[in-house]
Amino acid sequence: MPKKRVRRRAPKTYFSGETAAFEHLLRKTRGNRIYVLKLYVTGTSPRSRAAIGNIRALCEDYLSGRYQLEVVDIYQQPGVAAGHQIIAAPTLVKELPRPVRRMVGDMANRNHVLVVLNIQKTAELNEPARAR
């Protein structure tokens, strides 16, 4: 008796339509991510107050309702700073979304902060302002 031939299916290929749909989903979910930020400051120094004001304003303008900001005074909690390897203040740490990013200073250069935190790409900053 002749052997039956078993037809094997070819591996599934992904078409450009599926790729475009996937990329669209990625862009859509990127805008909904929650940002977890920690700002390490030294008391109520002028640089600390400036950093707190700058980062809060930036978060309200670009991440309204999608961020958690914790301000840690390293004079009050020196062990926390040592445990997270903070050697200068003010320091902003973006814990989520990954990758973790650190930034030192008063956060006055808004464009630089946006790029470091991966909120906007450099090319987007050079485009004319659009309605948000």
* 24 assigned to some structural domain: no
R_g of the chain, CA atoms, integer Å: 23
Residue 1 in any domain: the answer is: no
Domain span at 52? 34-126
The answer to whether residue 95 sits within a structural domain is yes
**Has residue 47 been placed in a domain?**
yes
Residue-wise pLDDT for 15-41, tens only, equals 556 777 766 655 555 557 899 999 999
Q: What is the pLDDT of residues 95-117, one digit of tens each?
A: 999 899 999 998 999 999 999 98
Total number of domains constituting the chain: 1
Answer whether residue 86 is part of any domain.
yes
pTM: 0.68
Q: Quick check: is 119 in a domain? A: yes
Residue 131: band (very low, low, confident or very high) from pLDDT cuts 50, 70, 90:
very low
| Average pLDDT of the chain to the nearest whole number | 81
Instruction: List, as own/partner pairs, every contact residues 71-78 make where C-beta atoms lie below 8 angstroms and the sequence separation is at least 24, other chains included.
Output: 71/38, 71/39, 71/41, 72/38, 72/39, 72/40, 72/41, 73/41, 73/42, 73/43, 74/40, 74/41, 74/42, 75/42, 75/43
The predicted structure's pLDDT at residue 85: 85
For residue 44, tell me if it sits in a domain.
yes
Contact 39, 90 (CB under 8 A): yes
